[in-house]
Structure formats: structure tokens, C-alpha cells
């Protein structure tokens, strides 16, 4: 509750409703972290070793994907704004979305391969992933 109140006091006057949303997300994140700490203290269910890699790698890959998509969206908006012959807003949004989604898929898969989080069973189910795993294992 304190994080939400402080976040609202800090972010809402400057950013309006978006600041309120940021404060809510921060409060939910702190609550989730406190729940994990409490869960670990009572049950020791936090994964370790190989299980941690299996759980942590998708989370890290998701963060990488988010950074790539945000960079493309903000960079694309800047690029289209600076263009001499701007596209229609609908076409601009369509192009940015297609590029960002494609780059997000590729960056997420690359992150999983880079962290060696794909098991051979999963790689066999994904077209082309077994070739990437063989290259990455060298």
C-alpha cells in the first residue's frame, strides 16, 4: 500500500493517469516479490540449479524481447517523424507493428537459444531450432 501511495504522489502530478498506472505496476511488483520471499521462507519452493535456469531463462528472454520491441517502436516513431515523405498513420502503425512483432519473436527465440534453455525435445518440435542448437553448442 505504501508503494502505491508514494508512487501516486510522485508520478500522478507529473504524468497523470499514466503515472497512476506506473505506480500500480510498481506496487504489484513489490507485492509479488514479497510473496516470493514469504513463500521461500515457508516452503523453500524457489527453484535452484537446473530448475532455476529453466524458469529464469524465459523471464530474461522476455525482458530482452521487451527492450528490443520498445527500442524499435520508439526508434520507428522517430524515424517516421523525421522522414521527408511521411506515410499515413495507419500504414506507419502497421509497418512498425509488423517489424516489432517479428523482431520480438526472433529476439525471444535467440535469447532462449543463447541461454541454452531449449531442451532437445523442444528443439525437435520447433522448425529450424535444432540447427541453431547445434551451432550454439560448439
Domain boundaries, the chain: 1-46, 48-138
Per-residue pLDDT of the chain (138 residues; tens, 9 = 90+): 899 999 999 999 998 999 999 999 999 999 988 887 787 777 766 566 666 677 788 888 999 999 999 998 888 877 777 777 767 778 888 888 999 999 999 999 888 888 877 766 776 777 766 666 666 565
Distance CA 80, CA 88 (A): 10
Q: Give me the residue label for grid cell 525471444.
A: 108
3-state secondary structure 16-57: CHHHHHHHHHHHHHHHHHHHHHHHHHHHCCCCCCHHHHHHHH
Give the pTM.
Answer: 0.56
What letters, b where the CB count within 10 A reaches 16 and e where it falls short, cover 25-58?
ebbeeeeeeeeeeeeeeeeeeeeeeeeeeeeebb
Distance CA 41, CA 19 (A): 33
pLDDT for residue 9: 94
Instruction: Give the largest Cα separation in the chain, rounded.
Output: 61
pLDDT for residue 80: 76
Amino acid at each position: 500500500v505504501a508503494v502505491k501511495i508514494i508512487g501516486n504522489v510522485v508520478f500522478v502530478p507529473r504524468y497523470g493517469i499514466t503515472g497512476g498506472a506506473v505506480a500500480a505496476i510498481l506496487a504489484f511488483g513489490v507485492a509479488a516479490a514479497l510473496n516470493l520471499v514469504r513463500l521461500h521462507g515457508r516452503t523453500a519452493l524457489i527453484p535452484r540449479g537446473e530448475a532455476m535456469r529453466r524458469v529464469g531463462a524465459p523471464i530474461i528472454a522476455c525482458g530482452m524481447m521487451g527492450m528490443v520491441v520498445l527500442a524499435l517502436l520508439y526508434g520507428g516513431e522517430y524515424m517516421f517523424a523525421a522522414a521527408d515523405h511521411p506515410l499515413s498513420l495507419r500504414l506507419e502503425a502497421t509497418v512498425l507493428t509488423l517489424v516489432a512483432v517479428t523482431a520480438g519473436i526472433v529476439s525471444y527465440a535467440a535469447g532462449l537459444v543463447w541461454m541454452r534453455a531449449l531442451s532437445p525435445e523442444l528443439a525437435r518440435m520447433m522448425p529450424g531450432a535444432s540447427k541453431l542448437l547445434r551451432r550454439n553448442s560448439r
